[in-house]
Structure 1
Amino acid sequence: MTLPQRVVFAPDASPQAVAEQVSALGANRVMLIASEREATLADPIAAELPMALRHDEVVMHVPAEVAERARLAAAQSRADVLVTVGGGSTTGLGKAVALTTGLPIIAVPTTYAGSEATNVWGLTDGRTKNTGADERALPRSVVYDAALLTSLPAAMSVASGLNALAHCVDSMWGPQTDPIDQALATEGIRALAAGLRAVSCEGSSIDGIEQTLYGAYLGAVAFASAQSGMHHKICHVLGGMFNLPHAQTHAVVLPHVLKFNLPNAPNAATRIATALGANRADAGLAELYAVLDAPKALKEYGMPEDGIAEAVPAIRAAIPDNNPTPITEENITALLHAAWEGAPS
């Protein structure tokens, strides 16, 4: 299943491209969502739009109270369209507003999060991150402007790109995966591996950024159809429970989930290895991680070691029943210990 939206690649031309998408929707009161950190990138876009409100309260994992304040702001401003400029947290906040207001979203990504290409939403209530899928959360349009990512720090580019790679890998065995999802994910892995290598060498490479954005988009489309598999269920539990950084958490956990499932997923193993240009999928991923100097250990991002035992029951309950490798308390505990310590996968 693929989802209906317009995708525009507009290198160094996002202000005009976004204005065209707003006009195509017949909208004339824009609520632009962008954090203070993204203000400089959002300013030229805002200058071309019929603005009703700029909203900058963006918080990782979209806490429910933050979403409520944004919804109130949208209602008070009488906005008729949402424009999000930023990474996954920004897009996620736009989705939270759209869920209750029905307002259309035009997403302008500044990372490789991929949220812009899915109908998946996430809200955190206390220490629990809840997710779901809803057609109102799917942006009507996505504007990819590679120029907006040239200033993304190298470490963040790597973590965000590996988060996108996790969408591809999880799509190989997601609960509703099909051959089309797997084909899209395979090409996404190939594009992401090539793009991230280029970006890691030259962060301002427009070609490298566009290749990475292309791979991230394919991975997100596949993921929206296949739905959350083992990897994302683990990361959602850990992220909500311990307020861990989203992209880095995904980057750390991915090799461990790959190693866990590969023995019982031969088709995925072949596809991933081929996409990475390697004889074995796990070896290919390890080589890519070494080149990129990827994040390695959850303990480096604030997860307490005693949190492993606390997280295991919630993770076991969340992982789909059709995961390739059967889940037990012992093997999930071992996986989390390895990811926490940063043990070779």
Structure 2
Amino acid sequence: MTRSFTYAALPMRVVFGADSLSSLPTEISALGFERVLVLCGPRQEALGKQIVATLGDRAVGILPEAVMHVPAAVAARAVDVASQLGADSCLAVGGGSSIGLGKAVAKELGLPVVAVPTTYAGSEMTPVWGLTTNGVKRTGRDSRVLPVSVIYDPSLTVSMPASLSVTSGFNAIAHAVEGLYAPDASPIVSLMAVEGATSLATALPGVASDISDLSARSTALYGAWLCGAVLGATTMSLHHKLCHALGGTLNLPHAETHTVVLPHVLAFNAPAAPAAVAALSRAFDCSDPARYLFDLADSLGAPGSLAELGMAFADIDRVADAVAESSYANPRPASRNEIAALLRAAWEGALN
């Protein structure tokens, strides 16, 4: 068998391990940052204030206003605050919303970002940004938004409720699944995808049964790191286009939407992606990865349908139209009617 591929390693530093947050002042000092703006959501405000206190004079303030899907108005405010405070960098602590807000500032002002993830979203490993304006979520790639350093401390994920831990983990698994059949996949990416998906599928039952299980949390965060790296190295396909449309148009919760949609897209793509299905079958020790993920989510108490997340049946056509009008890479072409049928199945929570 002959192979042809291109692989480019993303330039960033990763610090991983329990209590790695304690290394943050040393990391900031080594990077030469002297005026750090801390960005987080309201739920992480206490942690953000703790980080400000730890950084001392190197911190110029905190903006605890990050929300899902990075609304353009919130991004504009963060840019204004960073400019007014004379920040030379941003430290984003939290999930994809906080890190996405840091990327929005980086995109506009060129300020480097340090990420401290507290979920399994994976945004910290990618040069992908997203902004939502008038119900439309736009995404793009820009090397300036890639965090220069990422601090992975499993103890910071213990505050995540079991329900969010599970759906955040499925969000990460989705990165791995799409990376396995991406047009720009490579052997390194595929190895990371399989290892990441395996780690998360192994860890999530333990996390769900005992949210304080640091060993399970560490395994899950390790898997999320790898899955995020896969997302950063490959082109997004139908699954992410659907989730971005559902989130931007209907403001559905991000991780939960990924959890519901993933098995349906994988089942749709399976006939056109036999190598990816074979790799996932080995990773999960099963014959049908889509069914495995569907059943695993159900067994862990995750939402099983888009209807549960608040989507109205009447919204199916609107979202199908939006996705059909956009361009994306996917191993199997999807017509507008096929997209609508997939959305109906996900709305009903019935895996075909």
TM-score normalised by L of structure 2? 0.94
Out of 199, 215, 228, the position equivalent to 2:223 is: 215
How much does 1:174 deviate?
2.3
Q: How far apart in 2 are the matches of 1:91 and 1:144? A: 13
Whether 1:34 aligns to 2:40 is: yes
Matched, 1:340 2:347: yes
Deviation at 1:44?
2.5
1:118/1:138 contact within 8 Å kept: yes
Residue aligning to 1:96 = 104
Match of 1:17 in 2: 23
CA contact (8 A) 2:298 2:304 kept: no
Cα distance in 2, alignment partners of residues 69 and 309 from structure 1: 34
1:254 aligns with 2:262: yes
1:271 paired residue among 276, 279, 296: 279
Gaps of 5+ in 2: 1-7
Partner of 1:3: helix, strand, or coil?
coil
% identical aligned pairs: 46
* 1:70, distance to aligned residue in structure 2 (A): 0.4
> 101-110 or 289-298, which moves further after superposition?
289-298
Counterpart-to-counterpart distance in 1, 2:287 and 2:342: 24
SS of 1:299's equivalent?
coil
Quote how far apart the aligned CAs of 1:319 are: 4.8
1:179 CA drift (Å): 2.8
| Matched position secondary structure for 2:308 | helix
Kindly tell me the number of residue pairs found equivalent between the two proteins. Answer: 343
SS at match of 2:18: coil
Q: Which one-letter code corresponds to 2:229 in the other structure?
A: V
Task: Give the TM-score normalised by the residue count of structure 1.
Answer: 0.96
**Could you tell me which of 2, 24, 33 is aligned with 2:9?**
2
The amino acid across from 2:78 in the alignment is A
* Per-residue deviation, residues 73-118 of structure 1 (Å, max 9, x unmatched): 0000001111111110000000000111111111001110000111
- Among 89, 108, 111, the residue aligned to 2:119: 111
- Aligned residue identity for 2:235: Q
Partner of 2:315: 307
SS at match of 2:307: helix
Q: Secondary structure at the match of 1:301?
A: coil
Match of 1:187 in 2: 195
In structure 2, what is the equivalent of residue 172 of structure 1?
Answer: 180
Query: SS at 1:62's partner residue?
Result: coil
- Report if the CA contact (8 A) 1:11-1:145 is conserved: yes
Cα root mean square deviation, aligned: 1.3
Q: Does 1:85 align with 2:97?
A: no
Q: Can you give the 5+ residue segments of structure 1 that lack an aligned partner in the other structure?
A: none
Provide the C-alpha distance between the structure 2 equivalents of 1:216 and 1:133, rounded to a whole number of angstroms: 20
Alignment of 1:326 with 2:333, yes or no, is yes
Distance 1:105 1:17 in 2: 16
Which of 51, 71, 78 is equivalent to 2:59? Answer: 51
Q: After superposition, what is the alpha-carbon deviation per residue over 1:199-234, rounded to whole angstroms, capped at 9, x for unaligned?
A: 112111111111111111111111111121110011
| The 10-residue stretch of structure 1 (207-216 or 286-295) with the greater mean CA deviation from structure 2 | 286-295
The answer to whether the 8 Å contact 2:52/2:61 transfers is no
Check conservation: 1:270, 1:280, Cα contact below 8 A: no
Structure 1 CA distance, aligned partners of 2:292 and 2:41?
Answer: 36
Q: One-letter code of the match for 2:33?
A: A
Partner of residue 128, structure 1: 136
Q: Partner letter of residue 204 of structure 2?
A: L
- Counterpart residue identity of residue 290, structure 2: D
